[in-house]
Amino acid sequence: MKLNGASHSFNAVLVRGKNSAFPELISVARKSGIHCTMVEGSDEFLEKISEIRPSFLFLDLIIDSRDAVDLIRETEHLGIRDDMTIAVFGEPGDNYVEIAVLNAGADDYLVKPVNKRLFAGRLNAWMRKQARIEAVRGADRPENALPFELDRDAFSLKVHNREISLQRKEFEIIALLHSRPKKVFSRKEIKAAVWGDPEGARNRTIDVHITNLRSKIGPDFIRTYKGVGYSFNG
DSSP at 82: G
Q: Which residue has the higher pLDDT, 31 or 18?
A: 31
Query: What confidence score (pLDDT) does residue 152 get?
Result: 87
Distance between CA atoms of 181 and 177, rounded to whole angstroms? Answer: 6
Instruction: Indicate if 17 and 85 belong to the same structural domain.
Output: yes
**What are the tens digits of pLDDT across the range 146-203?**
588 899 888 889 988 888 888 889 999 999 999 888 788 898 899 888 888 877 778 8
Please say which residue of 107, 140, 173 terminates a domain: 140
Distance between the two ends of the chain, CA-based, in angstroms? 26
| Long-range CB contacts (within 8 A, 24+) of 202-206 | 206/173
Domain count, the chain: 2
* Cβ 220 vs Cβ 177: under 8 Å: no
Query: What confidence score (pLDDT) does residue 59 get?
Result: 95
Q: How many CB atoms lie within 10 A of CB 115?
A: 11
pLDDT at 6 over 70: no
Please say which residue of 108, 140, 172 terminates a domain: 140
Please say which residue of 140, 159, 187 terminates a domain: 140
Instruction: Indicate if 7 and 91 belong to the same structural domain.
Output: yes
Query: What confidence score (pLDDT) does residue 20 get?
Result: 87
Question: Which of 94-98, 102-106, 163-167, 198-202 is least confident?
Answer: 198-202
Query: What confidence score (pLDDT) does residue 171 get?
Result: 92
Say which residues have a Cβ less than 8 Å from residue 222's Cβ, sequence separation at least 6: 50, 174, 177, 210, 213, 214, 230, 231, 232, 233
pLDDT, the chain, mean = 84
Q: What's the domain range around 72? A: 2-140
* pLDDT level of residue 93 (50, 70, 90 thresholds): confident
Instruction: Indicate if 123 and 220 belong to the same structural domain.
Output: no
Query: What confidence score (pLDDT) does residue 91 get?
Result: 85
Share of the chain above pLDDT 90, in %: 27
Instruction: Indicate if 121 and 172 belong to the same structural domain.
Output: no
CA 118 vs CA 26, 30, 63, 144: distances in Å: 14, 15, 23, 42
pTM: 0.61
CATH of residue 179's domain is: 1.10.10.10
Instruction: Indicate if 18 and 46 belong to the same structural domain.
Output: yes
- Pairing type for strands 222-225 and 185-186 reads unpaired
Instruction: Indicate if 91 and 200 belong to the same structural domain.
Output: no
Share of the chain above pLDDT 70, in %: 90
* Cβ 21 vs Cβ 65: under 8 Å: no
